[in-house]
Structure 1
Amino acid sequence: MFGAVSFAPLQLAPATIAGVLYAVRAHHLGQRGKAVPVWRQSCFYGGLAVIVVSLTALGDLAGETFVAHMSEHLLIGDLATLLLVLGLTGPLLAPLLRIHLLDPLRVLTHPLIALPLWAFDLYLWHLPALHEAAVRHEALHAVQHGMFITFGVLMWMPLFGPLPKPPWFGNLAKLFYIIAVRLLGGVLGNVLLWSGTVLYPVYGEPVSDQTTAAAIMMIESSFVTLGLFGWLFFRAARESEERQQLLELAAARGVELSEERAARAVSAGRGDELRRRIEAGGLTAAGHPGTKLSWDS
């Protein structure tokens, strides 16, 4: 399936710059005693590697067959962006978050905004006229890839990103979010699979090329969905256990802690911080049951 390796500086330069900036920031945090976990660094660099390998190994073929083009887009817009988001932490993004001019952009990671934007981008670039234009023009093709990566990152941010989530976006909401993402992708896959006609004549291939590409899209989506369901199940179980431990610790230390606040802290990934505050509050409040712990997650 792979052809000759090709290089597209216009598309590979952003990945190189992102890798350098990430490495510099991670090194700086490590010197300050706030090292980025190795698994997160591996995810981020792995995401960049997927992008680079996809663009170089599939670059020429993507202009010849829809199967190759679909594979390229799934790798860079779905899997690579997932790895990139898994590699991010709050401290890593801190320099960007301090730029007040970028504050309005935070709303783009809200689940009710990130999902429609991702869906719009997905369907936009599969309109025959725009898709074929991207195949014919390298600059537009680079824009297409850039938008797939940008909106893919935004789509994954509500699930795995370090930025604050809406209070209502708990595990049940995450479940519906995952289902919505997969359904939106599934609709497009079914259109490509069952249309019965070649939608992108630019490839000059029979309809089987299109149906094979659609099948690859739906198979990849199924595996990703199963993985996400498994992750969500184990996350819910872990959070339930951690929440119960915090409540029991608070009760033992005479610190007042509601189940709602414990759940909010655990969901935000601040369970350890809350545990330390409970222990500090418990020591301070020795002999004074019912001392209230202030917590704003």
Structure 2
Amino acid sequence: MPDWLEIVMRSLFFLIVLFLITKILGKKQLSQLSFFEYVTGITIGNVGAELATKVEGNIIHGVLSILVFALAPFLAGSISLKSKTFRDLVEGKASVFIKDGKVMEDNLKKEKYTIDELLALLRKKDVFDVSEVEFALLEANGDFSVMLKKQNQPLTPKDLNIPVAAVKEPQTIVMDGLILDEPLSTIGLNRHWLHTELDKLGVILENVFLAQANSNGELTVDLFDDKLKVPSPQEKPLMLATLKKCQADLELFALGTDSKEAKEMYSKNSEKLQKAIDKVAFILKN
């Protein structure tokens, strides 16, 4: 066999071996690498590349070497689950950079960060004043976490005692012009509802690139033709407007009748409807 063909075959073989090992090791190898996993990952890649291009190398020995380095993270992970000391040694610990608005200079030096780099990390978190920070730390995986002081944190509906409707994940129900029945049924809808909503928008299914629906039964559509615009969902605003009109009509009926009994009935139901509107208005406005 020619040398170049053998190298091609070796490359394909080790590519498959490395791929299978990476799949077995899991997604953490791709996202959150500890120092130990980083070193073993580089080593495995180097061993595979060396054996793939070196014709005289022993394939069996190469596979054995890769398996040894692949086994190491498994053993380290098992020990880490049982020993915090070992886990801190292998995976590292978070380093506090700011505490109560005060920069921890010693920790910065330990992690080899300059004050300019710290300020850059803060700016990425939309923080420009160190004194506004209650707590900031560098995670073991290299991520930077910041908690602002209470008075500097954005207001939430909870802070203002404003009730907010629960939000559920929208479901993708059409993709590339094809209906996805499983997510459609997940939110309690069906194909008949979908076709009805598309008819309201004046859109045919074949023209829909992407369609999503939320738990409130609102449909958003993106078409293949980007020049065409589809109106935004109006179900909730229309419902709120209808309720307000009904309440106003009841008040008018109460004013327009001479019957004391009818006037009392209209007024009473108008008040009930107004209370119901007050309870659901925040849902229908959002």
- Pairwise same-fold verdict (TM > 0.5): no
When normalised by structure 2's length, the TM-score is: 0.26
Structure (1 or 2) with the larger CA radius of gyration: 2
Instruction: Kindly indicate which of the two structures has a greater share of residues assigned to helix.
Output: 1
Which structure has the higher relative contact order (CA within 8 Å, separation 6+)?
A: 1
